[in-house]
Structure 1
């Protein structure tokens, strides 16, 4: 057991003994902000802090509680997604015996050169357990009404922790290293490029981009007098993103920013030209900056792209994705199961592991989550951040068990799935921090009618 693992065990025991399990969402948020720090490490296999804390959420979810989650088609999709993922994971080693896959052992560079044979391994069991625990945490947080609090804590801990470690590395030494680097998958020296509390810069980029979007949206939709902490966190996340110097940061940020500009422009035109003057002023300012400092602004990006294209990392990641695309065809679109194959991109990892059926179910779940927040301005930060996270993961982070992924989905489903709970528990539940007052009032009216 690691030092952080021992501390977490004491905290969880304290919550149970003192019967203060209402603090568990905060603990889950802290552990989700340290997604690559292990609680237990045995024989080269590490269990992250989040999934150890999630075990208590599983227990509390199974315990009797007043009310029940409201029925909705998205809950059916979630059940079907989990069921299919488990089915194909168990069946794939028999269906596709002897097929070659990219395992998580040895790194993608070696696996591309010499792929393993599909088998039910510790990695497979671990990924199954992680997804089940993540889904259980999602359901627990929705029922507890604390999903928004948990994801906020997660983004804050990951962002601030990364910045603090970066400052320590360049000043007094990497004091947090022994606490944070407790897995067997460290891919970069913290002194070369910033990776903070993550294993490598690309993982930091895939976290910092949605974090920056989340904090910026919280500042935009929050109370005016309380916006400065959100903007400070958003700027900190952006600074982390830039210092990661990752291809994921460059590509994903470009896509997210471009998509955001298009959405704002379309929204302005739909509303009759409201805000067009800001687009004009912003465009003129951007043109002035680009004309005056074009070479200074683009030089780091050009250098990064030149370093990446044709590098060993580029070749390995591209080769892994091409191999996985071929694997999809070899399995007839059924996939090789959770933990069975590990490419570079999330967009390729889904169909190569849980197949086309699982990918379709996951996309339906995400679409349902985004649509669930369209009438509640207070939950827009979660849905927009979810889209940004999926874009970043599609560039260079293949893990389905990423904690903030499931936390963001949980926040989005609060208005739909908590209707029955709000009706049964009364006004106290309506005041939950995970549901805005407007949403709570609307849900109370809907359920009583």
Structure 2
């Protein structure tokens, strides 16, 4: 069954199937509707970001078959090697570990059926569905990394699409806020149409309905907004002066405060503390000044939001104390205790499997680190840390020889967005399956690779008569041009 969102999204994907840059832009736009589906098959819904990601991977592979080549000498393939190895190991673990430890370890299954209890480990549908997500996301990260290095001049436009998508999320969330306070119409079924998600859009604190926007729950909305806040804030403190970046920061921060998510508040505090620590330990005098101004500006936004909400919605004012109390006493709530218990059980599973993990897709935790420990074991976490170290070295080498300010700003934006996602997922996210996260990783790697390539070209001696050669243009290519 094609959903209402699918009736809009599917034709766009099919129309742009030969224009890879447009498909990647649709991946970012689809990330704003992660709780929706473009197509429902039984009890499973295909998320909007998956369809353009699949089409892009198909385009990439088709060009390879037709003889196209992609530059791999810019550090890209070397950076991706640990990630590729971890993905291969995770896929193998999803088949081997549930059979090797079958019945010996108790796990929390991906989808609960009946009573909410631990069940004996065994091969299940969660292994195959999570493998599918992993293959698509990993394929997108690898294909986009190699492709985007080649079209480097358009990376800034692609990242601007991500920032504009953040404004779409803000607009939908404010629309929902208006629906909750003054009862305007809000198409909940349009934004929450994926039957595979537990949709918690009607959660309340007292009589205040919490904001979830186009996501399944307030924590998911907060996680997304943490990424846009992180991206825009890090770009601004590094010298970005565009109106788009400032608008994204102010509006995302305001909606993040409105969504009453403890995860969002905690992640925001951790990110602000980390930014201040980084600036005052290793940052320059200019960076320190910008961070101070940024934190002061953020405090001003918080103050304006706190003052404006009672004026806009007087009914919310008398519930403010309830919201604050619920946030401060979160550790005493049953949901927090359940999440903590699930994470402790996941860590226990990692120990009982001798650090090997119970297999990708076999267990569901409440936060990222215990989920990775249970799913891919200590070896998988070590491989991902190796991958992070490779990315940091790759980016550092690119920034030392940066000659294109726009690409350097793309690196800052991607780094800030990824940090925001990782911090919120570490606090309360069972995993990261949204394709836009993996596209951000690819964009970061490709931008750094492009800067390194440009630096080598600038330092290389010109061949004879090169000054009379017509410059080559880099841009989106179609199948017919191969």
Say whether the fold is shared (TM-score over 0.5).
Answer: yes
What's the CA shift for 1:447? 7.5
Sort the Cα spacing of 1:22 and 1:448 in 2 relative to 1 into closer, same or farther, 3 A: farther
Higher mean displacement: 214-223 or 4-13: 214-223
Tell me how far apart the structure 2 counterparts of residues 218 and 355 of structure 1 sit (CA, whole Å): 35
Specify the alignment match of 1:386 in structure 2.
418
CA contact (8 A) 1:35 1:402 kept: yes
CA contact (8 A) 2:142 2:442 kept: yes
2:111 paired with 1:105: yes
Sort the Cα spacing of 1:7 and 1:94 in 2 relative to 1 into closer, same or farther, 3 A: same
Name the SS for the 1:235 alignment partner.
helix
CA contact (8 A) 1:36 1:197 kept: yes
Name the SS for the 2:363 alignment partner.
coil
Name the SS for the 1:264 alignment partner.
helix
List aligned pairs for 1:83-122, cutoff 5 A. 83-98=88-103, 99-106=105-112, 111=116, 114-122=117-125
2:352 paired with 1:330: yes
Specify the alignment match of 1:182 in structure 2.
193
Tell me how far apart the structure 1 counterparts of residues 115 and 238 of structure 2 sit (CA, whole Å): 47
Tell me how far apart the structure 2 counterparts of residues 40 and 121 of structure 1 sit (CA, whole Å): 23
What's the CA shift for 1:215? 1.8
Specify the alignment match of 2:34 in structure 1.
35
List aligned pairs for 1:249-264, cutoff 5 A. 249-264=264-279
What's the CA shift for 1:410? 1.2
Q: Normalized against structure 2, the TM-score is what?
A: 0.77
CA contact (8 A) 1:165 1:197 kept: no
CA contact (8 A) 2:233 2:416 kept: no
Structure 2 stretches of 5 or more lacking a match?
307-317, 403-407, 463-482
Sort the Cα spacing of 1:367 and 1:342 in 2 relative to 1 into closer, same or farther, 3 A: same
Tell me how far apart the structure 1 counterparts of residues 119 and 328 of structure 2 sit (CA, whole Å): 32
Tell me how far apart the structure 2 counterparts of residues 416 and 253 of structure 1 sit (CA, whole Å): 27
Sort the Cα spacing of 1:59 and 1:50 in 2 relative to 1 into closer, same or farther, 3 A: same
**Aligned to 1:159, which of 145, 170, 182?**
170
Tell me how far apart the structure 1 counterparts of residues 143 and 161 of structure 2 sit (CA, whole Å): 11
**Aligned to 1:137, which of 124, 140, 145?**
140
Spell out, residue by residue over 1:76-122, the C-alpha distance to the aligned partner (whole angstroms, 9 max, x if none): 11220111111111111111101321123239x953xx112333333
CA contact (8 A) 1:245 1:304 kept: no
Sort the Cα spacing of 1:123 and 1:254 in 2 relative to 1 into closer, same or farther, 3 A: same
Tell me how far apart the structure 2 counterparts of residues 368 and 259 of structure 1 sit (CA, whole Å): 21
Tell me how far apart the structure 1 counterparts of residues 264 and 295 of structure 2 sit (CA, whole Å): 23
Name the SS for the 1:105 alignment partner.
coil
List aligned pairs for 1:250-289, cutoff 5 A. 250-268=265-283, 271=284, 275=288, 279=292
Q: Normalized against structure 1, the TM-score is what?
A: 0.82
Name the SS for the 2:49 alignment partner.
helix
Specify the alignment match of 1:318 in structure 2.
340
RMSD: 3.3
Name the SS for the 2:254 alignment partner.
helix
Sort the Cα spacing of 1:153 and 1:369 in 2 relative to 1 into closer, same or farther, 3 A: farther
Tell me how far apart the structure 2 counterparts of residues 278 and 415 of structure 1 sit (CA, whole Å): 24
Tell me how far apart the structure 2 counterparts of residues 135 and 63 of structure 1 sit (CA, whole Å): 17
List aligned pairs for 1:172-251, cutoff 5 A. 172-184=183-195, 185-189=198-202, 192-221=209-238, 224=241, 227-251=242-266
Specify the alignment match of 1:75 in structure 2.
80
Tell me how far apart the structure 2 counterparts of residues 221 and 274 of structure 1 sit (CA, whole Å): 7
